[in-house]
Chains A and B, each alone.
Chain A
Amino acid sequence: MKKIALLVLSLIYFGTTFGSEREAKDIYQKAFSQLKQMLEGKAEYSFKKAVFITENAYLDGQLSYEQYEFHIDRLVQMANVIAASGDLQYTGKDKQSVTQAWSVFRVIKDSISFQFSSDDNALHTFQKFPFTYDMEDFWGESDWTKMFVSKLLGDHSGNCHSLPALYKIIADELKVPAYLAMAPNHTYIKQWSDEMGWYNTELTTGRFPYDAAIKWNSYIKTEAIVNGLYMDTLSQKQNLAYIITDLAQGYIRKVGYTDIRTPINWLDIAIENYPNYINALILRAELLKVEYENMMISKNANHFNTIWDNKFAIQKFKELESAYLQIHELGYRRMPKEMYLNWLFRINEDTTRQAFKFETPQPFKDFGFEVITATAGFGENAEFHDQDSIFRIGSIELNILSGRIIRFIKDIPNDEMPDNIISRMYDPALGKWWQIDPATDMLEMSSPYVYNLNNPINYVDPDGQLPIFINGKVDLDSKRADDSYWSTQLLTTIRNSGIANPGGQLHFVDGDQYATAWSLSDGFRMLAKGGWADQGNISGNRVKAGVAQANRDWKTILSKLAKDPQSNKIVEKIQIYSHSRGSAFATGYVEALMKLISDNSHLFADPNSVIDYVLHLGPHQSGLLTAKADNAFSMHHDDDWLSGNKIKGLKAAFSSDVGQGMKAAHDTDSFSNEVGAFINAFINSASTQDTIDNFVKAAKKKYGITITVN
């Protein structure tokens, strides 16, 4: 399995450097004619094959169809096993097909153990990890192969282009009806169940949003949906048009703008079969613009209207205008920048920046009469369209009153959501953040299997090893419960430490909270963030906050822990890291976790050893704290006067002289090496004392750090 992944990966890497431009163009032409044959019914339709053809063209024909099929077949088999073994709680008459759809979803998004016996009758367990969202270059701007299903199959992570495509491929193999559907810069899946009608599957987040949620979050005008621009199910021909558009984009990425007519012709055919396919329409318009710009360059023109002495130029420009106008008339509207940024801030719980509040325009403003407008949100999303007559589409600006293009846009600013032809990603942070956005909860869980409580979906943590990070005092709200609080090196160390968690998510908790005097309806205290001791942020209240938070996180944590398929008990472990102020919180958190584990011991295979260890890094006000776990440790640096080694009840307190000066000594980064050494020792030791001894040895040997044990 690993070998094959390596092979695919290496092909993808090397493949892009093979071949000359002529050869590349030939391969692409061949690919197009193959797709065209499918379109005309002269070749058998296969979405799986069409995807392969397109990706292989970019990779100079170096991909092996056999291997591609092999990977897919295995997933198909797994899906069959899942469908056969699970018992979906669903009462509709179409239970069988919904169960199959459920199995496809799980094979992509869930963490599952399979057992199989090999030829020698030995029992093997195979752990399947979910396909995750690749946060790096999700637009595919530097690496087009980020879009590919073959890449997704190879390294197990993809984006909102490849994930739904893979889902569709597997569904097709199982003859499960599943349809691609479009949203702005995004693709998702639509399916039918007799109980619910049409429901949406969002593969980046693993949620099932209602249409209203997609619309509200994507800035879609009702008219665009009426016109079939978005949220419609794609037919076979439309799927092929979708793929041909991908081919055209890949072609441009491969050979640049040396040949624009070819992709335009391909897009014409795509549009013929899928007239309102927004991506094709926008791409085509943008290519026409490039052609026009080439004309300008050849005539040394610096503005588009300076070459209108030429009839041909005028005609081309008119063609350009009508292409963009058509897009506008279909109802396409570009998301306002502020709305996109608002979303980012909201998800990050960033309160340091002022969220842009979209005011509802007053219809009777001219008469001085103000009305209230009921909105779906609170001004975080724009719910009005067309308040101005200038519209941006792709890289042009249009004045809709005159129907003329008024500007070619040269520089596309970075913080805008790239809405151009190359981008097909929706929200870059979607896969990571939407799970914790409380606002969307209600509108996000609508599918026939979301309430299946037998098998909670583990779409976050690939293998269930759950490192929990509890941060201390933040200087930016965006760092709360976020990996940006922790040094990259520390996180990388933990990821590569040998505790199995390949590419998996880490769980972050905001330890810079304290319990207020009020309790909420769940019986636990209401928490407040940040602040100082005089406001209530004292260690005692942080401990209480940890208790409250752990109780609130309990269900989420449970869902992230993988189970043994036979006994159905949780077998995975938790490791806890806290820093600075977060240590007080962590002691409460751990205490509550331990109680919850013991109260629910029937859920665990080994309830007495669920928490591997608790590591307090640079614990603040250590003298006031008591560790409740019996495998808690702390690490302290001599120069760090904000922390100490006085936590009561520790198994061991480690100190060293790492880090020159207060800041360096306290920063999370300074603990990277020691944590690495500690984990290494932990894995290779049988007892706690062994761990301590081995840790001291390793720290000295590998990093030259002298650890003093108290």
Chain B
Amino acid sequence: MVRQIAILLFLFSCIQSIAQPSIDFTGEELQYALTSNSTRQVKIPKISPNDQLAGINNNLSLPKPNGPNLDFGISQGQDQMIVHSEIAKQHQQNLLRRKQILKEFSKPAFRYNLPVHGGSGFGRYAAAFREIEGMLVGSTPVDMKRAVWLVESAYDPTMDYEEFSSMIDEGVRIITLYMAENRLPETNMAKVMAIFKYMADTITVRVPEIEKTVTTRPMLYDYEDFGGKQDPTKVFVSKLLRSGSGQCMSLPMLFLLYAKEIGAEAFLAFAPEHTYIKFRDGRGNWQNIELTGRMFSTDDFLWSSGFITAEQVRSGIYLRPLPDKEVIAYQAANLAITYKRIFGVDDFVGTIGGMIVHYFPNNLNGNALMYGYYKTLSRFVSQQYKQHDLSENDLDKDENAQRVLVSEKGAATRITKRLGWREMPDWAYKAWLDGVNEIAAQRQHLVRKRQLEQQLK
């Protein structure tokens, strides 16, 4: 379980090479990003000829803004800015060159958008976005496993779909065998229990195809870099599958994938800086599964550990079981987040955010992306003003700039007032941080307990 909303966004680095063609969202495509009323599909931008005036990614060191953490919503409590000096130098050179070019024109040319940058890897992101968008629009069936793989492989292409799929199949096979061996009925409760057993407990099954008895160990919580701040793959399901340990995003997501495979009904839900599983028990009452602790939890536990407010449950940003498509939208948000790590905030990020908010107006991730996008855009606009030594008066008269500022303010208000998002109190985060070791110790206790049980069997 992780908390602390510390950074809205930071720009990792700007991979800018002048020789690279720049990709530009224009007119229509931008419409989609800036308003969420459009039902049209976004067009993947075409590569346009080399354009020196393409917007330069701002390698700014941002102060701690107010707003949800775009980095998977999970952080370790400190701003981290990584500035590459070579890129900074290039940036300086670009600025000078740009100023020279601009001086040649009588009227400064402003950008009111954040042009998308190409770079190796963009293609994967574009393709991933296309497929995921199709699921949301309804042109292709919802396939969570595929969506997860698309997001993860866009960032880390070393695992192909077959491999990912077969790793999941392995788990499904064990779960199915477990159910058969223990003669569990085909009820939802039994299926959910089997998945929980597999992920949270040690089980032993006979696997006929390899003529062996296999013992599987519970999947653990990896405390190191649980926010994926240093290494984004820490939050990946593929990492969990490969290493046997994950965190509060990958563990519930994997549970959900297993559930889909064996036809069990379970839902993902959000809590502050956290995701977990909800399902309905035999009486029809909702239950919460806390896979990070390999246990269940009550609503009161979630409310008090997350300082959840009435406004947040009414707006639906927390504690709500998500429909399948919203899980897909959540994956789209994750796509935007790893994209941002590589390329920075640009119109692609804005497009994804706009798409999510269009289908799920009260989705926190989508709104956070939009807020981050507008914040960056607004800084970009002001920076351009500074570069051209223009005054605030000019800013006031500039309709386009005003539109950007209004959008930024609107996004901020939306998140705080309409959705009810707010920062966790400092003292609460510290208390939680202190308690993490306690949880680790508890875990040891559970492990010992289970070992004892195994011995006694």
Residues of A within 8 A of B (CB): 196-198, 210-213, 215-216, 221-222, 225-226, 228, 230-232, 360, 363-364, 366-367, 369, 371-377, 381, 383-387, 443, 446
By the criterion CB–CB under 8 Å, are A376 and B295 in contact? Answer: no
By the criterion CB–CB under 8 Å, are B300 and A375 in contact? Answer: yes
What residue in chain A is nearest B287 (Cβ atoms)?
A363
B76 within 8 A of A: no
Bound CA–CA A216/B303 (angstroms): 9
What residue in chain A is nearest B308 (Cβ atoms)?
A212
Chain B residues closer than 8 Å to A374, beta-carbon distance? 290, 293, 295-298, 301
Bound CA–CA A366/B283 (angstroms): 12
By the criterion CB–CB under 8 Å, are B309 and A383 in contact? Answer: no
Bound CA–CA A383/B302 (angstroms): 11
By the criterion CB–CB under 8 Å, are A376 and B189 in contact? Answer: no
Chain A residues closer than 8 Å to B126, beta-carbon distance? none
By the criterion CB–CB under 8 Å, are A212 and B285 in contact? Answer: no
By the criterion CB–CB under 8 Å, are B309 and A222 in contact? Answer: no
- Give the distance to chain B from A380, nearest Cβ to Cβ, in Å: 11
Residue of A198, A364, A443 near B309 (CB, 8 A) is A198
By the criterion CB–CB under 8 Å, are A225 and B310 in contact? Answer: yes
By the criterion CB–CB under 8 Å, are B296 and A212 in contact? Answer: no
Bound CA–CA A232/B100 (angstroms): 58
A-B contact pairs, 17 of them (CB 8 A): A198-B309, A198-B310, A211-B303, A212-B300, A212-B307, A222-B303, A222-B313, A226-B314, A363-B287, A363-B296, A364-B196, A372-B296, A374-B290, A374-B295, A376-B305, A381-B300, A443-B304
Bound CA–CA A216/B446 (angstroms): 27
By the criterion CB–CB under 8 Å, are B189 and A363 in contact? Answer: yes
B169 within 8 A of A: no
By the criterion CB–CB under 8 Å, are A210 and B307 in contact? Answer: yes
Interface hub of B182, B296, B316 (most chain A Cβ within 10 A) = B296
Q: Is the interface of B mostly helix, strand, loop or mixed?
A: mixed
- A222-B313, A232-B314 given as contacts; is B189 within 8 A of A366 (CB)? yes
Residue of B189, B301, B416 near A197 (CB, 8 A) is B416
B190 within 8 A of A: yes
- Give the distance to chain B from A402, nearest Cβ to Cβ, in Å: 15
Bound CA–CA A373/B281 (angstroms): 15
A-B pairs with lowest CB-CB distance, top 3: A231-B310, A376-B300, A383-B298
By the criterion CB–CB under 8 Å, are A375 and B301 in contact? Answer: yes
- Give the distance to chain A from B252, nearest Cβ to Cβ, in Å: 15
Bound CA–CA A375/B298 (angstroms): 6
> Interface size bucket, B side?
35 or more
Given contacts A197-B420, A226-B314, A369-B197, 8 further A-B contacts (CB under 8 A): A197-B309, A198-B309, A212-B307, A216-B303, A360-B298, A376-B304, A384-B298, A385-B285
B265 within 8 A of A: no
B225 within 8 A of A: no
What residue in chain A is nearest B422 (Cβ atoms)?
A197
B193 within 8 A of A: yes
What residue in chain A is nearest B315 (Cβ atoms)?
A226
Residue of A211, A213, A360, A372 near B310 (CB, 8 A) is A211
Chain B residues closer than 8 Å to A222, beta-carbon distance? 299, 303, 313, 319
Bound CA–CA A369/B310 (angstroms): 34
Bound CA–CA A386/B304 (angstroms): 21
Q: Is the interface of A mostly helix, strand, loop or mixed?
A: loop
- A197-B422, A211-B309 given as contacts; is B301 within 8 A of A376 (CB)? yes
Chain A residues closer than 8 Å to B293, beta-carbon distance? 372, 374
By the criterion CB–CB under 8 Å, are A226 and B313 in contact? Answer: yes
User: B269-306 toward A: CB 8 Å interface, digit per residue (1/0)?
Assistant: 00000000000011101010010010111111101110
- A210-B307, A211-B308, A232-B314 given as contacts; is B285 within 8 A of A386 (CB)? yes
Bound CA–CA A230/B310 (angstroms): 8
By the criterion CB–CB under 8 Å, are A376 and B420 in contact? Answer: no
Residues of B within 8 A of A (CB): 182, 184, 189-190, 193, 196-197, 281-283, 285, 287, 290, 293, 295-301, 303-305, 307-311, 313-314, 316, 319, 416, 420, 422, 425, 446
By the criterion CB–CB under 8 Å, are A371 and B300 in contact? Answer: no
- A231-B310, A364-B189, A367-B193 given as contacts; is B304 within 8 A of A216 (CB)? yes
Bound CA–CA A241/B401 (angstroms): 46
Interface hub of A225, A228, A360 (most chain B Cβ within 10 A) = A225
By the criterion CB–CB under 8 Å, are B300 and A377 in contact? Answer: yes
Bound CA–CA A589/B319 (angstroms): 49
By the criterion CB–CB under 8 Å, are A383 and B296 in contact? Answer: no
Chain A residues closer than 8 Å to B308, beta-carbon distance? 211-212
Residue of B190, B296, B305 near A367 (CB, 8 A) is B190
Chain B residues closer than 8 Å to A387, beta-carbon distance? 283, 285
Chain B residues closer than 8 Å to A371, beta-carbon distance? 196, 295-296
What residue in chain B is nearest A213 (Cβ atoms)?
B304
By the criterion CB–CB under 8 Å, are A376 and B422 in contact? Answer: no
By the criterion CB–CB under 8 Å, are A373 and B298 in contact? Answer: yes
By the criterion CB–CB under 8 Å, are B193 and A364 in contact? Answer: yes
By the criterion CB–CB under 8 Å, are B190 and A216 in contact? Answer: no
Bound CA–CA A249/B366 (angstroms): 47
By the criterion CB–CB under 8 Å, are B189 and A383 in contact? Answer: no
Bound CA–CA A231/B287 (angstroms): 23
Bound CA–CA A225/B319 (angstroms): 12
Bound CA–CA A633/B313 (angstroms): 60
Bound CA–CA A446/B416 (angstroms): 18
By the criterion CB–CB under 8 Å, are B193 and A360 in contact? Answer: no
Chain B residues closer than 8 Å to A197, beta-carbon distance? 309, 311, 416, 420, 422
Bound CA–CA A226/B301 (angstroms): 17
Chain A residues closer than 8 Å to B287, beta-carbon distance? 363
By the criterion CB–CB under 8 Å, are A373 and B296 in contact? Answer: yes
Bound CA–CA A210/B312 (angstroms): 13
What residue in chain A is nearest B425 (Cβ atoms)?
A446
Chain A residues closer than 8 Å to B281, beta-carbon distance? 363
Residue of A212, A232, A373 near B304 (CB, 8 A) is A212
Interface hub of A198, A371, A381 (most chain B Cβ within 10 A) = A371
By the criterion CB–CB under 8 Å, are B303 and A373 in contact? Answer: no
What residue in chain A is nearest B306 (Cβ atoms)?
A212
Chain B residues closer than 8 Å to A443, beta-carbon distance? 304
- Give the distance to chain A from B413, nearest Cβ to Cβ, in Å: 12
Chain A residues closer than 8 Å to B299, beta-carbon distance? 221-222, 383
Bound CA–CA A221/B190 (angstroms): 26
Bound CA–CA A385/B283 (angstroms): 11
Interface hub of B282, B313, B319 (most chain A Cβ within 10 A) = B313
Chain B residues closer than 8 Å to A386, beta-carbon distance? 283, 285
Bound CA–CA A364/B313 (angstroms): 28
By the criterion CB–CB under 8 Å, are B295 and A216 in contact? Answer: no
- Give the distance to chain B from A556, nearest Cβ to Cβ, in Å: 21
- Give the distance to chain A from B421, nearest Cβ to Cβ, in Å: 9
Chain B residues closer than 8 Å to A213, beta-carbon distance? 304
- Give the distance to chain A from B107, nearest Cβ to Cβ, in Å: 37
Chain A residues closer than 8 Å to B297, beta-carbon distance? 373-375
Chain A residues closer than 8 Å to B425, beta-carbon distance? 446
- Give the distance to chain A from B10, nearest Cβ to Cβ, in Å: 24
By the criterion CB–CB under 8 Å, are A376 and B193 in contact? Answer: no
What residue in chain A is nearest B293 (Cβ atoms)?
A374
Chain A residues closer than 8 Å to B314, beta-carbon distance? 225-226, 228, 232
Chain B residues closer than 8 Å to A381, beta-carbon distance? 300
What residue in chain A is nearest B197 (Cβ atoms)?
A369
What residue in chain A is nearest B290 (Cβ atoms)?
A374
- Give the distance to chain A from B320, nearest Cβ to Cβ, in Å: 8
Bound CA–CA A197/B182 (angstroms): 52
Bound CA–CA A367/B190 (angstroms): 8
Chain A residues closer than 8 Å to B196, beta-carbon distance? 364, 371
Chain A residues closer than 8 Å to B420, beta-carbon distance? 197-198
Bound CA–CA A360/B25 (angstroms): 55
- Give the distance to chain B from A304, nearest Cβ to Cβ, in Å: 27
Chain B residues closer than 8 Å to A211, beta-carbon distance? 303, 308-310
Bound CA–CA A374/B310 (angstroms): 21
Bound CA–CA A387/B285 (angstroms): 8
What residue in chain B is nearest A215 (Cβ atoms)?
B303
- Give the distance to chain B from A129, nearest Cβ to Cβ, in Å: 33
Interface hub of A216, A232, A374, A387 (most chain B Cβ within 10 A) = A374
